Amino acid sequence: MDPASSAGDVRVAVLASGSGTNLQALLDDEFCGPRIALVVSDRRDAFALERARSAGVPAVVVDPAEHDGRDVFGAALLEVLADRAIGLVVLAGFMRILPPGVVRAFEGRTLNVHPALLPAFPGAHAIADALAWGAKTTGVTVHLVDEEVDHGTIVFQEAVAVRDDDDLASLEARIHEVEHHLLPAAVRALAEGRLRIYGRRVTVAEPASVRP
């Protein structure tokens, strides 16, 4: 984010492909909710669209099947984001690799939440992969997005223990609980210009309201 910009002016777009539980956590957050100006899905049946409309947030579909290739899809997505003067993009269960043009246009202004402690278990099946590997600990990562998959600079991570009796549903539920507080915290930190990036390391300043 431009440090000179006011967090109050930040317009956030959330991209989601599925049920939108992370979207709901953002909508319910006192900082993030009022700043969400747009929800975009690549799927017409995504329940995230209904969550947005119920909250009075504009919701649109950009269907990849209606666009000839990733670059054309990316251009269509950029047009939608520009129409709403979006300043910050959040990938919240968006199950599609963001086209390079979009990544470059929002460099340093796009966050993704991933259900594992990256760089462990990247990809679309991170929770199942952690269980199959016999991992004792997994967790949640919120990171800035770059042109590689699940690769960008890490903003926040929080561990989740894998219990001996865990199955996919039980572990997923606990991971979602962490996602629902970690993602809004990262959005606020980025919007308020509190991230300091040194190569692949990030420090996060405390909000002004809690500084001594």
Catalytically active residues, by annotation: 114
Q: How far apart are CA 93 and CA 144, in angstroms?
A: 15
Q: Are 175 and 127 in contact (CB under 8 A)?
A: yes
What sign for the dihedral angle of Cα 132, 146, 192, 16? negative
Task: Report CA-CA distances (Å) from 98 to 28, 61, 81, 146, 200.
Answer: 25, 15, 13, 9, 20
Looking from the CA of 98 toward its CB, the CA atoms found within 13 Å total 32
The per-residue DSSP string of 21-58 comes to HHHHHHHHSTTTGGGEEEEEES-TT-HHHHHHHHTT--
